[in-house]
Amino acid sequence: MNIISTNPVTNSVIGETNTSSPEDIHQKVENAHSVQEDWTSLGVTGRVDILRDVLRLFKEHLDEIGVLSTQSMGMPSSLRHTLDLDAGIEYFEWYLENALESLKPEISFEDSTSLNTVFYEPTGVAAVISPWNFPFCTFIWQVIPNLVVGNTVVFKHASECILVGKLIEDIFSSSKLPKGVFSEVYGGGEVGDILIHEDIDLISFTGSTTVGKHIASVGAEKLIKVLLELGGSGPGVVFEDADMDKVAEAVFFNRFANSGQICDGLKRLIVHKNIADKVGQILVKMLQSKKVGDPQDISIDIGPLASIKQADGLKEQVDDATSKGAKVLIGGKKPASLSEAFFEPTLLSNLTTDMKVWQEEVFGPVLPIVTFESEEEAINLANDTVYGLGGYLFTEDKDKAERVATKLKTGMISVNGTLYLHPSSPFGGYKKSGLGREHGKYGFHELCQLKVVATEK
Chain positions contacting ligand NAP, by CB under 6 A: 129-133, 138, 156, 158-159, 188-189, 192-193, 196, 206-208, 211, 214, 229-232, 263, 361, 363, 389, 434
Nearer to ligand NAP, 103 or 158 (CB): 158
Report, in Å, the least distance between residue 216 CB and ligand NAP. Answer: 11
CB 261, min distance to ligand NAP, A: 7
Task: Report whether 303 contacts 76 (CB < 8 A).
Answer: yes
Cα maximum dimension of the chain: 78
CB of 61 to ligand NAP, least distance (A): 21
- Identify whether 161 is a catalytic site residue: no
Which of 389, 308, 319, 327 is CA-nearest to residue 356? 319
Q: Which of 160, 184, 198, 229 is catalytic?
A: 229
Instruction: Give the Å distances, CA to CA, from 82 to 57, 75, 257, 425.
Output: 19, 11, 11, 19
We find the least distance from the C-beta atom of residue 308 to ligand NAP, in angstroms, to be 14
Measured torsion, CA atoms of residues 262, 264, 270, 271, in degrees rounded to the nearest 10: -70
Q: What are the distances in angstroms from CA 163 to CA 61, 93, 328, 449?
A: 13, 24, 37, 33
CA distance 118 to 128: 26
| Strand positions, DSSP E, 248-334 | 266-272, 327-330
Query: 229 an active-site residue?
Result: yes
Q: Which long-range contacts (CB under 8 A, 24 or more apart) does 414-422 make?
A: 414/250, 414/254, 414/390, 416/242, 416/243, 416/246, 416/250, 417/246, 417/247, 417/249, 417/250, 417/253, 417/254, 417/392, 420/390, 421/87
Of 137, 161, 263, 448, catalytic: 263
User: Taking the complex as a whole, how short is the minimal distance between the CB of residue 72 and ligand NAP, in angstroms?
Assistant: 12
Strand partners for 349: 327
For the chain, the C-alpha Rg in angstroms (whole number) is 23
* Cβ at position 215, least distance to ligand NAP in Å: 6
Task: Mention every residue, 6+ apart, whose C-beta is less than 8 A from residue 150.
Answer: 36, 39, 40, 42, 44, 47, 121, 122
Smallest distance from the beta carbon of 282 to ligand NAP, in angstroms?
27
**In the complex, residue closest to ligand NAP by CB:** 192
Q: Which is nearer to ligand NAP, 175 or 254 (CB)?
A: 254
Q: Sort 207 into a burial class: Cβ within 10 Å, 0-12 / 13-18 / 19+.
A: buried
Query: Would you say 44 or 408 has its CB closer to ligand NAP?
Result: 408
Distance between CA atoms of residues 441 and 87, nearest Å: 18
In terms of CB distance, is 267 or 334 closer to ligand NAP?
Answer: 267
234 vs 280 by CB, closer to ligand NAP: 234
Instruction: Determine the length of the chain.
Output: 457
- 427: DSSP letter: B
Question: 66 vs 131, which CB is nearer to ligand NAP?
Answer: 131
Helix and strand counts by DSSP (H, E) for the chain? 17, 20
Residue 231 or 417: the one with the smaller Cβ distance to ligand NAP is: 231
Alpha carbon of 7 to those of 37, 146, 182, 207, 341: distances in Å? 41, 31, 28, 21, 10
Smallest gap from residue 453 Cβ to ligand NAP (A)? 34
Q: Which is nearer to ligand NAP, 331 or 436 (CB)?
A: 436
Q: Which residues are catalytic?
A: 229, 263
